[in-house]
Amino acid sequence: MGKSKRILITGAAGFLGSHLCDFYIQKGFNVVAMDNLITGRLENIEHLFPLENFEFYNHDVSKFIHVSGDLDYILHFASPASPIDYLKIPIQTLKVGSLGVHNCLGLAKSKNARVLIASTSEVYGDPEVHPQTEDYWGNVNPVGPRGVYDEAKRFQEAITMAYHNFHGIETRIVRIFNTFGPRMRLNDGRVLPAFIGQALRGEDLTIFGDGSQTRSFCYVDDLMKGIHALLLSDYHLPMNIGNPSEITINDFAKEIIELTGTNPKIVLKELPVNDPKQRRPDITRAKEILGWSPKVSRSEGLKLTYDYFKGMSAEELEKRPHDNFEKYIKH
């Protein structure tokens, strides 16, 4: 039997990072997890601490990264990932998408490791092309409230391609669309945990805008499989991974009401600045190159996610989005 592969996962205590840790532990990898816990939670990965093939470093990847020994793969998933975070920690958001990815790429070069960086559908901004294909360059406001995240991710893609082209590093770029599942932060301001949190607390559901804007939700288990397929592929250009099943926010609110068996009012508030009106991935490239497509239906994934939130303590359920969110709305 061959030697187990060793993989570094940054942002390992976050929503996606923690699921990646589980995924690669189950595949028999030696997992090196790294997180500065600015938005991540140790509770997401504490079940892995007793394992011999798991190690954790409390470290900010925006600073020099040292990992002793060999590395086969690096997954760079460290980044704040919600509008609430962008407002609270804008400089850190920019640094992890610039200095952080630079450090990961340098480490990949020194270890001769393959690196996959987590980009996002936000590189498309408020898109003028629908659905979004990988060759669309986007419609992004670099100085708007979302700019610290959008432009950090766009720079991340650019420097990754530069390392691939100039240094010959094995690189992969995944553009992740809206993903959901257990371990989402209830107070991060994203629509799914916001709706479920409000329903569980017996509050009205808050919709920003008129609710006609669309989103496409991919269950986290499907995303993990897509990321792994891309990592092992020979494809180095950006690739969309998401679920093309599109739904308006109004209809999504109705699904949450039915799921939770509640009867809240729906309250409309002003649409945030530069909030995308449409979001739906074109996954033709993933289907043709990776043979990947999502398998978990939204209804099935929502039930699993709702069960997770229902199991939270009363104290956890009381966590609400930060007051700064109002700044995100103002023009």
Active site members: 149
DSSP string, 3-63: PPPEEEEETTTSHHHHHHHHHHHHTT-EEEEEE--SS--GGGTGGGTT-TTEEEEE--TTS
State the angle between helix axes of 15-26 and 220-232 in degrees (0 to 180), rounded to the nearest 10: 60
Residue 192: its H or E element: helix 191-200
Are 19 and 181 contacting, i.e. CB atoms less than 8 angstroms apart? yes
Length of the chain: 331
Task: Give φ, ψ of 239 to 5 degrees.
Answer: -135, 130
User: For 172-190, b where at least 16 C-beta lie within 10 A, e where not — what string?
Assistant: bbbbbbbbbbbbbbbbbbb
> Measured between alpha carbons, how far is 52 from 31 in angstroms, rounded to an integer?
10
DSSP code of residue 88: H
- Which residue in the block uniquely carries the two structure tokens 């532990």? 25
> Measured between alpha carbons, how far is 26 from 314 in angstroms, rounded to an integer?
32
On the question of a cis peptide bond just before residue 50, with omega within 30 degrees of 0, the verdict is no
> Measured between alpha carbons, how far is 13 from 31 in angstroms, rounded to an integer?
13
Tokens of 171: 């690189």
On the question of a cis peptide bond just before residue 131, with omega within 30 degrees of 0, the verdict is yes
> Measured between alpha carbons, how far is 152 from 83 in angstroms, rounded to an integer?
14
**Residue 247, C-beta contacts closer than 8 angstroms, at least 6 positions apart:** 214, 215, 216, 217, 255, 298
- Tell me the CA distances in angstroms from 177 to 87, 194, 246, 261, one per residue in order: 21, 18, 11, 28
> Measured between alpha carbons, how far is 119 from 322 in angstroms, rounded to an integer?
25
